[in-house]
Structure 1
Amino acid sequence: MTFTVYIRMRQRVETKQGGKITLSQAAQIIAADEVFAVLKDIEVYQLNQSDNNLAVLDVMSVIKKIYEYFPESDIQTIGPNQTIIEMIKEKKSRYPLFIAVWLLLFIGAGLAILNFHEEVSMQAVHQRLYWMITGIHNKKPLLLQIPYSFGIGLGMVLFFNHIFKKRFNEEPSPLEIEMFNYQQDLDRYVAINENKESVRHLNGD
């Protein structure tokens, strides 16, 4: 009896423990109930020490596994052709490193802003604006400088759409977009270089 099985490989699977990866963990499955009950527990990959923390599961090896159980099935694949399996190791507390990096970035960003303001003569601009508005010469126009300083911080918060863990709306920030693009490039690199079936070296005689 021929039946259809639809498989959609997951983009990435994260696991904290080694061992076997089942088909339901690595892919989404649509099939008849009695078939699905068997398919979901099929072991499609066995993690080992040689994998380090990344491994690639190719859809062809998944199809081969399914045919071992259901040789007359019609398998339809949708979406990605590989699943990246990442071994997540327990991380130790890194608060001292976090604080050191935060201080480094904070001081560096502050110096960058100060140098920019000095280069464009921002103080002279504020002094002239204050004179144009009030008609009074003031070497320290705090009435403009203080709101301007708060405005820089508020503008950065709105730009990145975050304040600590709170998000203002569902729109991703530019930083999140860049991180997403970086992760996509990294996944493509891993899918090609870690997949043993993607490259075949032939020795011609």
Structure 2
Amino acid sequence: MALKAQNLSWEEVATVPLSAITAWQAHAGLKGLDDPNTAGKRILITAAARGVGVWLVQLASIAGLQVVAQVGSARNDEFVRGLGVSETVNYKMESLQEWAGREGTVDIVIDCIGGKTLEDAWFCIKDGGTLVSIVEPPEEKRPKELKDRVVKSESFIMTPDGHQLADLSRLLDQGRCRAVLDSVWNFEDCNKAFKRLDTGHANGKVVIKVTEYVV
């Protein structure tokens, strides 16, 4: 638990804990936001316009990284650039492997999708780079032709942490990052909310309001 960021509504606060702490702990594998050896490096983030992705983008920007975002539309391209992204990859137009063959490899990849996307992400990492997945162990998706590439790979399950949440609240109050609320739905419309998520139309977090009546 931590104090609510003062400049956020309750609906905006609901977007923070799970997604933001997951992003924070993914960055912790890179030695945090204040590591001078991280600044200036190039990072690729998949699903950058979704709930965890928007926090990964913002924290990477705070850390001084050059951020490349994987998106699926021109609308999402514009959206993530507003969060600090300098370059995008449209997965509907080319795979990560194709993009890496054209634009070169990066120092860090944080994957939020898994599966084929995680497999392709291996082609984007330079020797000595870091690959973090919040979905599944990266080694399970390492392509056979890259078995000799030297990469630090890891996955993790987010652990609730009040101290990290308090740090995030301070960043929000300082205006160094912002909560991204896509939409708010009443509980009886939860199926519509999940449909919005499933169709990939959501930017940031979808919040479902639950009202408790006490008689």
TM-score, normalising length from structure 2? 0.18
Bigger Rg over Cα: 1
> Which structure: greater helix fraction?
1
